[in-house]
């Protein structure tokens, strides 16, 4: 792994990357050009170069056939190259905040809440984009959660883009519900008021480790039966189908962004890597199929958590076929999320 985050680097010379490089982090610098020699990094799995001045990606990068995660948000990209959506393993991508990014109108009628009407309580969680705390509304004594965006560049992109996406997702029973945005923050920071999640919900998985690089890790005690993993899969596929109907690509479809309880009911959130895209564009078909592979990886992870004697052969065969249909090397031939839902409903 090579990491030079936030170092004001403006130039990356050719032939500086070792050929065995797996993970590259150059977030929040002043880089204007990605060296062509990055195409020699055939083992590269994870690249985060968000928050730079990059105008185009070198075509040589199409040789990075093992690339699975790419963060190119908040650059100066004028176009998204077609070869990017031909990479056989690409699963998680963020490209918002570029000139090429699709601009959409957000809901201007979204409720605004005065910061001074809320009292912060204990911290519930923190991620790259912001801090989430428990809160209560002083005037009505309503409990909720509040997320204050850090207002700085993250590996996924700009906080303001994440805010717009969160507002635009709409209601869905498996999405963490957004109630409104805040105004009059003393430091002029953006924030969202969200429905308070029951403490019975916990993270389905944990973020990737240095060893796993792009794949989540799970606690040894986490086990499911086949009925439970089917319910989780249907819930997340339903959310993704709604997002894609609105031209929203999540970009970070991982178990560590999914909350579950013992039932298991699911809640999906954290739109840190999420860009808008034009559903009528030439690349819209392929954007969804890239995320289909991420969903296939999630299915594979869920399958590994099933108690052996809880799985019958018929279910196993259907599950493995669906994984294959979501992760095939030919991006264009993968299933859409509506097609995935049809398959799951037929199990």
- Rounded CA gap, 163 and 272, in Å? 9
Provide the β-strand partners of residue 143.
136
Q: Is residue 118 within a helix (H) or strand (E), and if so which, with residue range?
A: strand 118-126
pLDDT-based confidence at 216, cuts 50/70/90?
very high
CB atoms within 10 A of CB 13: 8
Q: Which CATH number fits domain 1-101: 3.80.10.10, 3.40.50.720, 3.40.50.1100, 3.40.50.1000?
A: 3.80.10.10
Q: Smallest Cα–Cα separation from 92: which of 298, 324, 291?
A: 291
Domain 202-345 sits in CATH 1.10.3720.10: no
| pTM of the predicted protein model | 0.91
Helices (H) and strands (E) in the chain, counts: 5, 14
Arithmetic mean of pLDDT, 14-33:
96
pLDDT on residue 273: 59
Residue 59: which pLDDT band, with cuts at 50, 70 and 90?
very high
> Residue 190: what pLDDT?
81
Which CATH number applies to 112-194? 3.30.200.20
Grouping H, G, I as helix, E, B as strand and the rest as coil, residue 137 is strand
What confidence score (pLDDT) does residue 225 get? Answer: 93
Distance CA 41, CA 214 (A): 16
Residue spans of the domains in the chain: they are: 1-101, 112-194, 202-345
Each residue of 98-152: pLDDT tens digit?
888 776 665 555 678 899 888 888 888 776 667 888 988 877 777 888 888 776 6
């Amino acid at each position: 792994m090579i990491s030079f985050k936030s170092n004001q680097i403006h130039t990356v010379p050719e032939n500086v990357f070792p050929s065995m490089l797996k993970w590259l982090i150059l977030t929040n610098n002043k880089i204007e050009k990605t060296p062509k020699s990055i195409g020699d990094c055939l083992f590269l799995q994870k690249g985060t170069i968000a928050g730079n001045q990059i105008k185009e990606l070198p075509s040589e990068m199409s040789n990075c056939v093992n690339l699975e995660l790419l963060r190119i948000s908040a650059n100066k990209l004028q176009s998204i190259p077609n070869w990017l959506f031909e990479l056989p393993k690409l699963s998680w991508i963020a490209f918002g905040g570029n000139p090429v990014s699709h601009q959409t109108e957000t809901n201007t009628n979204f409720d605004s809440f005065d910061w001074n009407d809320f009292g912060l309580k204990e911290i519930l969680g923190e991620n790259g984009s912001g801090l989430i705390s428990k809160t209560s509304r002083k005037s009505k004594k309503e409990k909720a959660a509040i997320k204050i965006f850090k207002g700085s560049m993250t590996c996924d992109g700009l906080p303001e883009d994440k805010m717009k996406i969160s507002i635009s997702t709409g209601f869905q029973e498996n999405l963490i519900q957004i109630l409104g945005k805040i105004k009059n923050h003393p430091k002029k920071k953006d924030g969202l008021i969200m429905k308070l999640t029951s403490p019975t919900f916990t993270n389905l998985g944990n973020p990737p480790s240095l060893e796993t690089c792009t794949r989540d890790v799970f606690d040894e005690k986490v086990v499911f039966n086949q009925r439970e993993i089917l319910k989780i899969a249907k819930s997340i596929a339903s959310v993704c189908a709604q997002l894609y109907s609105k031209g929203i690509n999540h970009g970070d479809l991982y178990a560590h962004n999914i909350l579950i309880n013992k039932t298991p009911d699911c809640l999906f959130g954290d739109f840190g890597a999420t860009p808008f895209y034009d559903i009528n564009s030439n690349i819209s078909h392929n954007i969804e199929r890239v995320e289909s592979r991420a969903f296939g990886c999630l299915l594979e992870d869920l399958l590994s958590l099933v108690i052996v004697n809880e799985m019958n052969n018929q279910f196993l065969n259907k599950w493995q076929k669906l994984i294959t249909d979501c992760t095939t090397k030919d991006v264009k031939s993968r299933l859409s999320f509506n097609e995935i839902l049809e398959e799951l409903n037929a199990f």
